[in-house]
Structure 1
């Protein structure tokens, strides 16, 4: 399958007098709404549009995951949510693999399914929690995902590239960030809860 090329490159402007060499030769692509709708994998990997955000797509994708989880709780039992999460892992791997290949970037920031599935895991395993507990889980997960301390950084570097290995690499660091979040929440509950 040929890569889908309807992506908008980020625009770079060179400093006056710096010459054309100041702009990168190949700017990372930014997916468009048209790109989102061209393939089911794009729709999933880009978090049903939340990954199209120009500002902090990972945070926007995590917020979308939180809201989607709250809606899912209205209709699904915890066991059904667990099955949905289990099914979302291989589907997410496929979607992330295909979308990264079409964007021609190994781990594009606009792919947010990794944040979505990881946040669902955190909320599913840590529930029941009130609003402040959920907000704490959100903030902790975003910290571990963005700062990538120790084990998260290791997981981020473990599986790079395109193809099946790269798809798991996109997911793995967020799954480790979810584990770290759950560990901190468990320690907090044990000490203060």
Structure 2
């Protein structure tokens, strides 16, 4: 018998999976980050700094809810198909930058992936700072902050 999911459950999974990017069978986290990079020039970077800050906060809050619900629905802690955290982390990396070239966006992508995968201090520890979906989101936020610092240093900001 197939389980019927509510509209809110389907919405949570759609958001958590990054509009479906997380369902890619190989490297779903990289696919989620790529989606964030593709959307950034249209939905994020053109905004003013205060608006980008609000968007990052809203993506974090929405991601906490969606990731928490996805963990429950999928029966796993931090399932690989949950990639809203990668979008959040990349956009956090890009937050202070009003203008980013295509090359700069590629650098931000690579730097974020390095910090997200390597999980240097305190990225790995951040997973336990918040319960459920918050823990899923916060470690990518810390990885995004690391990437932001390195990205700013590379670009002389």
Q: TM-score range by the shorter chain?
A: 0.7 to 0.9
Pick 1 or 2: higher relative contact order, CA cutoff 8 A, min separation 6: 2
Equivalent residue in structure 2 for 1:65, among 14, 31, 36: 36
TM-score normalized by the length of structure 1: 0.71
Equivalent residue in structure 2 for 1:83, among 37, 54, 64: 54
Are 2:90 and 1:119 equivalent residues in the alignment? yes
Instruction: Decide whether the 8 Å contact of 2:115 with 2:147 is kept in 1.
Output: yes
CA distance in 1, matches of 2:45, 2:66: 26
Are 2:99 and 1:166 equivalent residues in the alignment? no
CA distance in 1, matches of 2:46, 2:146: 28
Q: What is the RMSD computed on CA atoms of the aligned residues? A: 2.6
In the other structure, the counterpart of 1:96 is: 67
TM-score normalized by the length of structure 2: 0.87
Structure 2 residue runs without a partner (length 5+): none
Equivalent residue in structure 2 for 1:131, among 98, 102, 118: 102
CA distance in 2, matches of 1:127, 1:181: 16
Q: How far apart are 1:177 and its partner, in Å?
A: 0.3
Instruction: Decide whether the 8 Å contact of 1:126 with 1:182 is kept in 2.
Output: no
Structure 1 residue runs without a partner (length 5+): 7-33
Larger Cα Rg: Structure 1 or Structure 2?
A: 1
Cα distance change, pair 71–154 in 1 and its aligned pair in 2 (3 A): same
Q: How far apart are 1:179 and its partner, in Å?
A: 0.7
Structure 1, 170-179 or 81-90: larger mean CA deviation: 81-90
Cα distance change, pair 128–75 in 1 and its aligned pair in 2 (3 A): closer
Cα distance change, pair 140–107 in 1 and its aligned pair in 2 (3 A): same
Q: In the comparison of the two structures, how many residue pairs are matched?
A: 156
Q: How far apart are 1:62 and its partner, in Å?
A: 0.4
